[in-house]
Amino acid sequence: MLVRELMTPDPVTTRGERSVKAALQLLDENDITSLPVVDDDGRVVGVVSEVDLLRDLVTPDARLHVLPTLEEPPPPFTFVEDVMTTDVITAGPDTDLVAAIDLVMTHGMKCLPVIDDEGRAVGVISRRDVVRVLARPDDLLEQEVADLFEAAGRPDWTVDVDHGVAEIDGPPDPPEHRLATALARSVPGVVGVRVIGTPG
């Protein structure tokens, strides 16, 4: 499966000169946890997360302290460019989903920007996207694989999906095994394929 098949296209982005408050409002309005930061040409120059934006905004409650303290000055008015991560890890639309998931998990990311050849943001892939596709019911996956076999002129091939693993019966030789595997793997949510060949 490729990133383009799972990513959220037309991602919500922000600019470095946007205020932290306005960026937080974007996260809240869109129910997301991070934003790609783009320049005037839409190229990704950073990523900002809810943790980055919240870091300096929440201060201790003075009511919990025994001795009164002098009134503290308000936190400085900050912008996205002041708190964003500039060492950006990205993926391309044609990146294998397995590689993208590995990037997300290895680097502890919640959101991976997807960029085109010009470095412009064309999508994002998040942990939530991955969970959503891996949670698809087995019977739905089974039907979609069977429909692909039918469309490919292989209606006699059968498939049984259990916990995301597709077991296929019918392809008679290695080239047909490869075809069956490729078709089944193209269905979002299929995590493995076993082909039971029929000797030809």
Kindly report the CATH number assigned to the domain that includes residue 59.
3.10.580.10
Beta strands of 80-144 (E only): which ranges?
Answer: 111-115, 121-126
Spatial separation of the C-alpha atoms in residues 176 and 171, rounded to whole Å = 5
Burial class (CB within 10 angstroms; exposed 0-12, middle 13-18, buried 19+) of 195: buried
User: Which phi and psi (to 5°) does residue 100 adopt?
Assistant: -65, -45
Domain of residue 175, residue span:
138-196
Per the structure, how many domains does the chain have? 2
The fraction of the chain above a pLDDT of 70, given in percent, is 87
Q: Are residues 60 and 143 in the same domain?
A: no
User: b or e along 139-152 (b: 16 or more beta carbons within 10 Å of the residue's beta carbon)?
Assistant: eebbebbbebbeee
> Phi/psi class of residue 119: alpha, beta or left (left: φ > 0; alpha: ψ in -120 to 50)?
left
The fraction of the chain above a pLDDT of 90, given in percent, is 58
Q: Are residues 128 and 158 in the same domain?
A: no
Quick check: 111 and 47 in contact, CB under 8 A? yes
Spatial separation of the C-alpha atoms in residues 130 and 6, rounded to whole Å = 8
Q: Are residues 98 and 50 in the same domain?
A: yes
Quick check: 159 and 152 in contact, CB under 8 A? no
Task: Of 4-8, 26-30, 57-61, 127-131, give the range with the top mean pLDDT.
Answer: 26-30
CA 186 distance to own-chain centroid: 17
Quick check: 123 and 11 in contact, CB under 8 A? yes
Residue-wise pLDDT for 76-132, tens only, equals 668 999 999 999 999 999 998 878 888 887 887 778 999 999 999 999 998 888 888
Kindly report the CATH number assigned to the domain that includes residue 182.
3.30.1340.30
pLDDT grade for 67, boundaries at 50, 70 and 90: low
Residue-wise pLDDT for 127-149, tens only, equals 888 888 889 999 999 999 999 99
pLDDT of residue 72: 62
pTM for this model (two decimals): 0.70
Q: Are residues 39 and 105 in the same domain?
A: yes
Q: Are residues 142 and 116 in the same domain?
A: no
pLDDT of residue 128: 81
- Of 134, 150, 185, the residue that ends a domain is 134
- Of 96, 112, 134, the residue that ends a domain is 134
